[in-house]
Structure 1
Amino acid sequence: METTTRLKKPEAMLFDMDGTLFQTETLLLPAYHKMFDRLRTEGIYTGETPPESLVLSTLGMILDDIWKTVLPDLDAEGRNRANEIMLELEVEGLQSGNTKLYPQVKETLQALKSQGVKLFVASNGVEHYVKGVAHAHDIYSLFDGVYSAGEYKTRTKVDLVHRLLTDHNIQSAWMVGDRSSDVEAGKKNGQTVIGCEYAGFGNHSELQGSDTIIHSFDQLLKLYEEAK
């Protein structure tokens, strides 16, 4: 762990989903390749499948920005079709039972909840996907709320986190995530940020401004126990 300041115990923890709780590539990459096969079959897309690194680099973005990055030459209708196919394939993937959370995620969440910490998800993903991942991995019931940009129509994670904090009258929280959008969301809402550097999607510079950086999810429990 890399700690820059003494942490205070929060009343709540807010978690990003992709790259923080969920090993997104276990679902995303198989669906990604199948989606482009479908787009080519339907005559919507004719090129090669863009590299996996491109779609992985978009994790944490809102949906519109993801498709503008991955499919910059398609019109809105084409992007909407790509999104429909992707969601369909992701549902199939979650039902397959072949996707994974990061090690010790469920156990750590259970331990934090048992100590009275309120737990939330704050994700830029679409509602069906974010809640689907939580249900598929039997962690949905651990959360006091599952917030997504898709459900609340927020343009930034700053806005989403503000909505969450206001809805639940939370004064002190740790924002836990792996991207710069998580750092921004926590800091602009006056909260502590725990940067997660184990997914490998972003780079170290994205987590600048975090109060602490962890290299495995279960380190979060020790941080909480040592906080004053």
Structure 2
Amino acid sequence: MENIRVHMHLPLSQNTLLKAPKAVLFDWDGVIVDSEHMIFSALQRTFQHFSLEGPSVPDFYKFYGYSLEDAFKRDFKERWEEAREVYRQVQMNTETQKPKVFEGVQEFLEALSLKKIYCAVVSNKKGDDLRKEAESLNLAHYFSKIVGAQDAQRSKPFPDPVEHALKDTGLNPHHHSVWFIGDRSVDMECAHATKCIPIEAAFFVSKIEENYRYPPTLTIRSYQELIKMLK
């Protein structure tokens, strides 16, 4: 597998050399599974329970990539724990609806597996719920580690979950090419903080603010772009 020359996200006219990965880290919602409409609906119902106006779509993209605890502390103040339970109850009532896995995910994971490239999930979704969902979608076996909220001391954008995902692997983003595929600003910030290569998954729309200070190195519109790079 050779090094691949790709365009920079900002500005588009520049080129950079994207090294073949030794490891690939994935966010989950909006990257592996198309679940954000379900999350957005559950949030709206939670806000309605407290007679509050729910977040706009831009605010949802901006703030709800962070851990649920952090987001709810900001929006519900001293009632954040109560709001968290309401949100989880709403989700439990709709948990029979499995999120759809994005097209190309399994093919990309198979390609990484064949090349023995280390794979892990680094998400701000609650760890136990994340692993349960990965198992239910028959995807868990592709990942050496599935790291969610509360598995590390701090959540993204802090480096802790990435460090946890790479612990005992001998892989260090300072010395090895580690791709971090995410869809939110919090993912790009975490990738920059840990010296991973930030790749934005923008399958429908870019959710990262224009001129954001932690830009992605590459923006993809489908997994086929990354699959071609591995060949």
Q: Could you tell me whether the CA contact under 8 Å between 2:26 and 2:181 is conserved in 1?
A: yes
Q: 1:181 to 1:7 in 2, by over 3 A?
A: same
Which structure 2 residues correspond to residues 102-141 of structure 1 after superposition, within 5 A?
102-141=102-141
- Find the aligned partners of 2:141 and 2:127 in 1 and give their Cα distance: 16
> SS where residue 17 of structure 2 aligns?
coil
For residue 188 of structure 1, the aligned residue among 187, 190, 193 is 193
Whole-Å separation in 1 of the counterparts to 2:209 and 2:26: 19
Matched with 2:84 is 83
Report the count of equivalent residues: 214
Q: Percent identity?
A: 23
Q: In proportion to residue count, which structure has more strand?
A: 2
> Does the 8 A contact of 1:154 with 1:160 survive in 2?
yes
Give the Cα–Cα distance (whole angstroms) in 2 for the partners of residues 209 and 50 of structure 1: 24
Match of 1:24 in 2: 35
Which sits farther off after the overlay, 50-59 or 9-18? 50-59
TM-score between both structures, scaled by the size of structure 2: 0.79
In the alignment, structure 1 segments of 5+ residues that lack a partner are: 40-44
For 1:52 and 1:190, the matched residues in 2 are separated by 29
Q: Give the structure, 1 or 2, with the largest relative contact order (CA under 8 Å, sep 6 or more).
A: 1
CA distance in 1, matches of 2:113, 2:213: 26
Residue 175 (str. 1) matches residue 175 (str. 2): no
Q: Which has a greater percent of helix?
A: 1
C-alpha displacement of 1:33: 3.4
Matches within 5 A, 1:29-48: 29-37=40-48, 39=49, 45-48=50-53
TM-superposed CA distance for 1:146, in Å, is 0.3
Aligned to 2:160: 159
The structural deviation recorded for 1:25 is 2.0
TM-fit CA distance, 1:52: 4.6
User: Is the 8 Å Cα contact of residues 27 and 94 (structure 1) preserved in structure 2?
Assistant: no
Give per-residue Cα distances to partners, 1:12-70, cap 9 Å, x unaligned.
10001122222232321332233345x3xxxxx2334444543343232122331144x
CA 57–208 in structure 1, closer or farther in 2 if over 3 Å, else same: closer
Where in structure 2 are there 5+ consecutive unaligned residues?
A: 1-5, 9-14
Q: TM-score, normalised by structure 1?
A: 0.80
Corresponding residue number in structure 2 for 1:42: none
C-alpha contact 1:35 1:85 (8 A) present in aligned 2: yes
Note closer, same or farther for the CA distance 1:198–1:2 as it changes in structure 2 (3 Å cut): farther
Q: Is the 8 A contact 1:175 1:186 kept in 2?
A: yes
